[in-house]
Amino acid sequence: MRTVLTAAVALTPLQRIDDAAIVINDGVIEQIAPRSAVALPAGAVRRDFSQAILAPGMLDIHIHGAVGHDVMSADESGLASVEEFLAQHGVTSYCPTTVTASVESTLTSLERLARHIENRSNGNKPRARALGIHLEGPFISREKRGVHPQQEIVAPDLKVFERFWNAARGHVKLLTIAPELPGAPELIAAASARGVTVSLGHSDGDLRSAQLALQAGARHATHTFNAMRALDHREPGIAGAVLSETGLTADIIADGIHVHPAVVKLFLTVKGEDRAVVISDGTSATGMPDGRYRLGMFEVEVAGDRCTVDGRLAGSVLTLDRAVRNIMRFADWPLQRALRLATANPAGVIGAKGEGTLAVGGAANLVVLSSKGEVINTFVNGRALRS
């Protein structure tokens, strides 16, 4: 059975198609073009979204959990709940993200997540799909660890990484590391050689250490300005590398709390719509009322939009659709530009082919949005979240 979606606009997101139609066949996009150019298949189910916008499903490459479940400890039911929540907010794929914990705890979490990635069924409801794992720690700076437990931080070690890699069965997509640490360049090179995107973060490193990391294979930066040396005109640090190195992509938490809106705008002005990414850094508290929740092996406290441990920021309760709307507001960007930061760009960072775009032959993972970026409906492999 074919389904035809029609709307005022489709954003691929690189291309804008007015009066658009998308034909879906068995979960795959068969046609995408102006309505006048599409031969509507006989007997197809048609869904018209009138003045709405069709866009690729979003991809969150840095998220620790949601709706009371942390990805490091959640069982299959808990992960399914997280994924259903993500789909409600237009996210159709994601990278479950670890935090620094003991090596043994991390290995257990990686094994569980690898099984989930490999064995996941579609379930009864459309939900986001885990594409691979983001290792945030334990190879990070003690000075810029944020709320990561100091006693569990590990110096960059090829043997420890090998254990992580094996436990994850090769499903590590992204690794955050402090490049100034002894052994970091060697680990960066080894991880990069396996196709892992190495990201600079939780670091007190200077500009030179960042440049050496880029030479070793690093090509991304984690939550720019947070948990890294502050930008200084004489000691620019990794933030300086983010703003000056054209080959470096970087992500940012656009909640207006982690980074001031004016600085978010500066970041976007420099990185542009090609090299900037938005992340949620969401915790298990996302989508929940104020209270205490898990982040890895420790607890965080949520009050309003702030997620903290002993007064220090500890992840967020941001959703990616709200991050896109914030980008529109902070930088005065149109929806099409802002969408790239949550679709095509993060897909490019982790090398996820077929993700973050609407294209013939690609999976029908898409979101229906209002002109303001509000989620109306989400389709995962052609299945609608809302009937």
The pLDDT tens digits of the residues spanning 65-122 come to: 999 999 999 999 999 999 999 999 999 999 999 999 999 999 999 999 999 999 876 5
At residue 377, the 3 state secondary structure works out as: strand
Q: Which of 206, 251, 255, 281 is catalytic?
A: 281
At residue 20, the 3 state secondary structure works out as: strand
Judged against a pLDDT cut of 90, whether residue 51 lies above it is answered with yes
The neighbouring-strand residues paired with 252 are 278
Tens-place pLDDT, residues 201-233: 999 999 999 999 999 999 999 999 999 999 999
Q: Is the distance from CB of 356 to CB of 59 less than 8 angstroms? A: yes
Q: Is the distance from CB of 128 to CB of 380 less than 8 angstroms? A: yes
Judged against a pLDDT cut of 80, whether residue 161 lies above it is answered with yes
CATH of domain 58-350: 3.20.20.140
Residues 182-203 as b/e (b if ≥16 CB within 10 A, e otherwise) read eebbebbbbbbeeebbbbbbbb
Residue 73 to residue 84: CA distance in whole angstroms: 17
> Fold match between 2-54+362-384 and 58-350?
no
Residue 342 to residue 327: CA distance in whole angstroms: 10
146 or 160, which is more confident?
A: 160
60 catalytically annotated: no
Tokens representing 383 are 């299945």
- Terminal Cα-to-Cα distance of the chain (whole angstroms): 16
List the chain domain ranges.
2-54+362-384, 58-350
Tokens representing 229 are 């040396």
User: Which residue do the tokens 């929806």 mark?
Assistant: 335
The DSSP symbol for 196 reads P
Q: Which fold, 2-54+362-384?
A: Urease, subunit C; domain 1 (2.30.40)
Average pLDDT, the chain: 96
Find the helix packing angle between 158-167 and 184-193, rounded to 10°: 30
CA angle 273, 277, 280 (to 5 degrees): 140
> Which pTM was predicted?
0.96
Residue 49's nearest CA partner among 19, 26, 23 is: 19
Q: 3-state SS of 254-291? A: CCCCCCCHHHHHHHHHHHHHHHEEEECCECCCCCCCCE
Q: Is the distance from CB of 130 to CB of 112 less than 8 angstroms? A: no
Tokens representing 74 are 């959640």
The whole-number pLDDT of residue 24 equals 97
The whole-number pLDDT of residue 297 equals 78
The whole-number pLDDT of residue 122 equals 59
Q: Is the distance from CB of 209 to CB of 179 less than 8 angstroms? A: yes
